[in-house]
Amino acid sequence: MTTTIAIDKVGKTINRKEIIKDLSLTINEGEVLGLLGPNGAGKTTLIRMIVGLIDITEGQISVCGHDVENEHRDALGNIGAIVENPEMYPFFSGQKNLDYFARMHNGVSKEKIAELVDFVNLTDRINDKVKDYSLGMKQRLGIAQALMNDPKVLILDEPTNGLDPAGMQELRRHIRMLAKEKNVTVIVSSHLLSEIELMCDRIAIIKKGELIAVENVRDEAKQVYHFKVSEPEKAQVLLQEQFDIISQLLEDYLVVELPAELSDVSSLVKAFVNNGIAIYSVEPKNHSLEDRFLHLTAE
Amino acid sequence: MNKSLVYLVRKSFINFFKKLIKKPLKALGMLLLVTYYFFIPFLTKGVITDLGLNTHAGFVLIASIGTLYLTMPLTLTYFKRKGVSFKKQDINFILASPTSPKQALIYALSKEVYINLAMQVMFLMAAVLVFTVPFLTSIIYLLVNIVFSNLLSYSLAVIMYASEEITLKQKQWIKRIVYVVLAMFTVFLMTMVVSQTLESGFDFAYIISVLSSPVVLMIPIFGWQLGWLNLIMLGPTPVRLIATGLFFASAIGLTFYAYRMKVSGEYYEDALSFSENIALLESKKGDISLTEAFGHKKKNYAYKGELKGLKSNVIFHKQFIERRRSKKYFLGWSDFIYLIAGIGLGLTSLFWDGFIVPDYFLEIMVGLSIYLAVFFRPSADWKSEFKNHYLFLMPDSPLNKLFNASLLEHLLTFVRAIFLVVPAGLLMRVSLLEILYAISLNVLLKAMMTYVSILIEAIIGAKIGHTFASIISMVVSVIIMIGPVVALFFTQTLSTFLIFTAISLYAILVLFLFLYLSSINLRNIESLEE
Ligand SMILES: Nc1ncnc2c1ncn2[C@@H]1O[C@H](COP(=O)(O)OP(=O)(O)OP(=O)(O)O)[C@@H](O)[C@H]1O
Ligand SMILES: [Mg+2]
């Protein structure tokens, strides 16, 4: 696997305040990395360093083999980004804004722009002025802008900001598609695990400028289900005997951790029903990561 | 005044000094600037004495011109609702607190108080030290003037901005009338002075007599203000007494009116629409004018131009479209002034023998260019381009970006140069070649100074403080201009072509040097952060 982004012992100091401390991380081609941390953790600062918007106080960052500071333009040629809220020209239409950036990139074909517009679902409103756009629409326009130069690396700072659930799902699907089919390396930041965990391969957790954990999301296919059943004790015994699963009884529901090889919950359901246990509800949960995130970032 | 505003004033004041302590270079710059201000009277003393103006009458002349051409235009900007601006960070605070529009307005105006006071102290020193006015007389004049003229301009500002009784139409008419009066007065003054000079030579005494004539003192408000100046400096006459009385009465009357004036909903509705527009304002750079803050939209003209150019060049085309949107005919008053000046220069040389000699056309024009280039700040449009983070992510060299972001400015300089040089040149009947030389040099010198100012005032200024940087910029400008000025002196002895070539090459060299130095210092968004 090739490394696309290498962050090597990076530190950032502003006004004698250390904002990022000795942070190292490598991201591979086609990988989607989530940058997770509470407000003020330093996500935006790190992203700004990766795209060369601010100086790197210590250490190095390279993108596609190019040092971000010394070979800035070579590195930039591979990057598409939204950093914080996309800055567009409010009195221009969405179309004109995209046209502006397309020309900046030395020309991007009309078809390509239309394709991007369609992709971010703005076709109906693309000729309206950006000042009349909603936050989510601006965000979509920003994403279209970031994809303009077919980047190998896509960096999105809080892309879910202002998106509605449908938009969020769309974005998620999209980012997975870019990573899988086009081998694009993606960094997405967020302070909400739930918003990005489904699209990421790995999640780097940052707190007060330090990288405190990197978690694999995909390996952790252990699925957790909450069962609400008529006879929880009987169900517990059944699970252990038939499936060799140790479950926990919490209040009035069973917490069942499904091993990776047993990804189908239907066999459990069938067993319950066959044994005369009524099922009121089954809820998939993935609390393990979220609990860990809360635990890791807790004061 | 409302508590939250008092808090804001106090905090800003304290923070101002805290910042100075943190940035010693900034503090030093401020100190130098203040010292410079206070030395103006001493610096000008020699010239003023040589001109025989070191008298009470001389003071009346200077103060009158100051009032008419500095104070009055300033007050007029309040009429346009543009002269009042808020710092971006104040906006949220003010709108979130229960502040009445009047208070917000006065808060915005109050930030000019310090500068105003400094000016008055300078005037005081000048009066006593240069114009030999007794200390007591000076201080009485100034104290009374400070009180009443501030009452006047503040209440006028409040009335013009917030009055709901006077309709927008009426306000526009008031504005126009004031402009017409000022223009008519200027023409009147000019013709009087010119004709008198033609008849019996130039004499300051004559200008003073015009400025203190009843016609001038009876100009509403501004003339009345001069009444007080004349009264205290030159002694009482019936007209001066009446003008002074009207000055006091109008100040008190208007203040009372402004105080009692009802300001109700309109303002707050504007404020609400503002909060909806907050994202838009956040994207705007620099201070925010009162008009923008309270939701009165700036007038824009529909212009449907297409973007052109590739890479950074598209910045220029975008700016072009933006200018077409904000200026109906692309050019504005500040551009046509050059046309008027050009025609004026030409006519003067035609009708006023020996004052402007066509033989010295190039010297005059280039001298004027140098003056304009050094003393008129370039527009900051380039800077707002660089405040958009995306610009840094675009794949082009910083040099190309900076050049294209300032290209429109050069184009405007070119147009202004044509306005200034062509009519003057045609009326003076100089050769076409000389006209071309003058236009080119004007553009080149101005462009050169643009990049000097960008490097020193914007980029270095972000690090060492803008006040200090502007002083350094002045010094550097003077040093840079020594070459062209010296060259000009040889225009008559050497060939015009040679001088033109020399200055052009020099300007191009310096231009690219500073363009290059600026661009390598515009690496990223931290370059312009303070
Ligand atoms: N220019 C600056 N000057 C001073 N401090 C700064 C600057 N930029 C960032 N910081 C500080 O660095 C820290 C990290 O900020 P950053 O914007 O990177 O956080 P974030 O993780 O993106 O937070 P959020 O989730 O709120 O976007 C904060 O404490 C912030 O105050
Ligand atoms: Mg952030």
pLDDT at B99 over 70: no
Q: What is the pTM of this model?
A: 0.72
- How far apart CA B504 and CA B442 sit, in angstroms, is 10
Closest ligand 1 atom to residue A46 Cα is 18
Q: How far is B90 from chain A (nearest CA, A)?
A: 21
Token couple for A235: 């169900």
A16 lines ligand 1 (CB under 6 A): no
Q: What percent of chain B has pLDDT over 90?
A: 22
Best residue among A10, A12, A13, A14 to mutate for probing ligand 1's pocket (most ligand atoms within 8 Å of CB) is: A14
CB count within 10 Å of CB B244 equals 23
Q: Which of A37-51, A193-207, B340-354 has the lowest mean pLDDT?
A: B340-354
Average pLDDT, rounded, for chain A: 86
User: 3-class SS at A14?
Assistant: strand
Hey, whose CA ends up nearest to atom 28 of ligand 1?
A40
Q: Is the pLDDT reported for residue A34 higher than 90?
A: yes
- In this predicted structure, the answer to whether residue B295 has a pLDDT above a threshold of 50 is no
| Identity of the residue numbered B423 | P
- Percentage of chain B modeled with pLDDT above 70: 83
Average pLDDT taken over every residue of chain B: 80
Question: A100 at the B interface (CB within 8 A)?
Answer: yes
For residues A225 and A247, what is the distance between their CA atoms, to the nearest angstrom? 10
Whole-number Å distance between alpha carbons of A26 and A49:
15
C-alpha torsion angle, residues B430, B431, B436, B439 (rounded to 10): 0
CA-A191 nearest atom, ligand 1: 25
User: Does residue A51 sit at the B interface (CB-CB below 8 Å)?
Assistant: yes
Least confidently predicted of A258-272, B284-298, B453-467? B284-298
User: Residues A181, A250: one domain?
Assistant: no
Mean pLDDT along residues B333-338: 80
Q: Where are the beta strands (DSSP E) in A15-57?
A: 17-28, 32-36
Q: A44: Cβ below 6 Å to ligand 1?
A: yes
Ligand nearest to the CA of A36: 1
Kind and range of the H or E element at B467? helix B466-489
Determine contact: A127 vs chain B, CB below 8 A. no
C-alpha R_g of chain B? 25
- Sign for the pseudo-dihedral over CA of B238, B241, B246, B249: negative
The range of the structural domain enclosing residue A183 comes to 3-216
pLDDT band at B268, cuts 50/70/90?
Answer: very low
B300–A91 CB contact, under 8 Å: yes
How would residue B272 be classed by pLDDT, with cut points 50, 70 and 90? very low
Residue A185 in tokens = 């390396």
Q: Which of A15, A18, A45 to mutate to test the pocket of ligand 1 (most atoms within 8 A of CB)?
A: A45
Please report the pLDDT score of residue B61 as a whole number.
Answer: 87
Looking at the CA of residue A158, tell me the nearest atom of ligand 1: 27
In whole angstroms, what is the distance from residue B13 CA to residue B110 CA? 12
Predicted confidence band at B291 (pLDDT cuts at 50, 70, 90)? low
Alpha-carbon gap, residue A94 to A127, rounded angstroms: 6
Q: Fill in the amino acid letter for B257.
A: Y
For residue B296, give the 3-state DSSP assignment: coil
Total count of domains within chain A: 2
Cα A203 to averaged position of ligand 1 atoms, centre (Å): 20
Q: What is the pLDDT of residue A48?
A: 94
Of residues B252 and A287, more confidently modeled: B252
Tell me what the mean pLDDT of segment B54-78 comes to: 77
CB contact under 8 A, B395 and A48: no
Cβ(B61)–Cβ(B53) below 8 Å: yes
Of B322, B325, B389, the CB nearest to A87: B389
Mean pLDDT of all residues in B510-520: 95
- Give the CA angle between residues B472, B477, B483 to the nearest 5°: 140
Count of positions (residues) in chain B:
530
Give yes or no for residue A106 CB within 6 A of ligand 1: no
**Last residue of some domain: A171, A197, A216?**
A216
B526–A90 C-beta distance less than 8 A:
no
For residues A255 and B255, the model is more confident at: B255
Label residue A263 by pLDDT band (50, 70, 90).
low
Please tell me if residue A149 touches chain B, with a CB cutoff of 8 Å.
yes
For residues B346 and B168, the model is more confident at B346
Residue A299 in any domain: the answer is: no
Tell whether A150 lies on the interface with B, counting CB pairs under 8 A. Answer: no
CB of A19 within 6 A of ligand 1: the answer is yes
pLDDT of residue B76: 67
For ligand 1, whether the C-beta of A174 sits within 6 Å is no
**Residue B24 burial class via C-beta count within 10 angstroms: exposed 0-12, middle 13-18, buried 19 and up:** exposed
Three-state SS letters, B178-213:
HHHHHHHHHHHHHHHHHHHHHHHCCCHHHHHHHHCC
Residue A259, domain CATH = 3.30.70
Torsion of CA A111, A114, A115, A117, to 10 degrees: 160
Last residue of a domain, one of A216, A250, A282: A216
CA distance A77 to chain B (A): 6
Task: Say if residue A286's pLDDT is above 80.
Answer: no
Query: Does A14 sit in the ligand 1 pocket, CB within 6 Å?
Result: yes
Delimit the domains of chain B by residue range. Answer: 54-272, 313-528
The verdict on a CB contact (< 8 Å) between A100 and B307 is yes
Strand A3-14 and strand A17-28: pairing? antiparallel
ipTM of the shown complex: 0.78
d(CA B1, CA B11): 15
Specify whether A148 is located in the same domain as A244: no
Out of A32-46, A215-229, A269-283, the most confident range is A32-46
Q: Does the Cβ of A191 fall within 6 Å of ligand 1?
A: yes
Supply the CATH number for residue A123's domain.
3.40.50.300
Calculate mean pLDDT across residues A124-152. Answer: 89
Contacts of A141 (CB under 8 A, 6+ apart): A86, A88, A94, A97, A98, A120, A122, A130, A133
Q: What mean pLDDT do residues B348-353 have?
A: 75
The pLDDT tens digits for A155-180 are: 999 888 878 888 888 888 888 888 98
Q: Measured between beta carbons, which residues in chain A are less than 8 angstroms from residue B312?
A: 104
Taking Cα atoms as reference points, which of A17, A22, A19, A18 lies closest to residue A7?
A22
A136 and A43, same domain (yes or no): yes
Strand partners, A136: none
Q: How far apart are the first and last CA of chain A?
A: 36
The yes-or-no verdict on residue B93 having pLDDT over 70 is no
A182 shares its domain with A274: no
Residue pair A194/A187 in contact by the 8 Å Cβ criterion: no
Return the structure tokens found at B398. Answer: 């910083």
A19 in reach of chain B (CB within 8 A): no
Higher pLDDT, B338 or A298: B338
Provide the shortest C-alpha distance from residue B164 to chain A (in Å): 29
Does A190 contact ligand 1 (Cβ within 6 A)? no
Helix (H) or strand (E) holding A190: strand A185-190
pLDDT at B302 over 90: no
Task: Give residue A279's identity as a one-letter amino acid code.
Answer: I
Count of helix runs (H) and strand runs (E) in chain A:
10, 14
Q: What is the mean pLDDT of residues B448-475?
A: 86
Please check whether residues A12 and A71 belong to one and the same domain.
yes
pLDDT at B267: 47
A166/A261 same-domain check: no
What pLDDT sits at residue A33? 94
More confident residue, B357 or A216: A216
CA A46 to centroid of ligand 1, rounded, Å = 9
DSSP state string for B376-417: SPPPSHHHHHHHSHHHHHSSS-HHHHHHHHSHHHHHHHHHHH
* Nearest residue by C-alpha to atom 16 in ligand 1: A42
CA A191 to ligand 2 centroid distance, Å: 9
* Interface touch B393/A54, C-beta < 8 Å: no
The answer on pLDDT for A143 being more than 70 is: yes
Among the bound ligands, name the one nearest to the CA of residue A39: 1
pLDDT tens digit string along A198-235? Answer: 888 899 999 899 998 888 876 555 677 888 988 888 88
Same domain, A105 and A243: no
Is the same domain home to A183 and A253?
A: no
Sorting pLDDT into bands at 50, 70 and 90, what band is B355? low
What pLDDT score was predicted for residue B85? Answer: 59
Evaluate if residue A5 carries a pLDDT over 60: yes
- Which of A86, A103, A135 is the closest to B310 by Cβ? A103
SS3 B279: helix
Q: How confident is the model at residue B433 (pLDDT cuts 50, 70, 90)?
A: very high
**Rounded-to-integer distance, Cα B381 and Cα B402, Å:** 11
Ligand 1 in contact with A145 (CB < 6 A)? no
Q: Confidence class of residue B274 from pLDDT cuts 50, 70 and 90?
A: very low
Pair (A69, A132) in one structural domain: yes
Q: Higher model confidence: residue B18 or residue B461?
A: B461
pLDDT band at B96 (very low <50, low <70, confident <90, very high): low
Same domain, A168 and A248: no
Cβ–Cβ below 8 Å for A131 and B280: yes
Pick the range with the lowest mean pLDDT from A149-158, B143-152, B163-172, B338-347.
Answer: B163-172
Contact A100 B397 (CB under 8 A): no
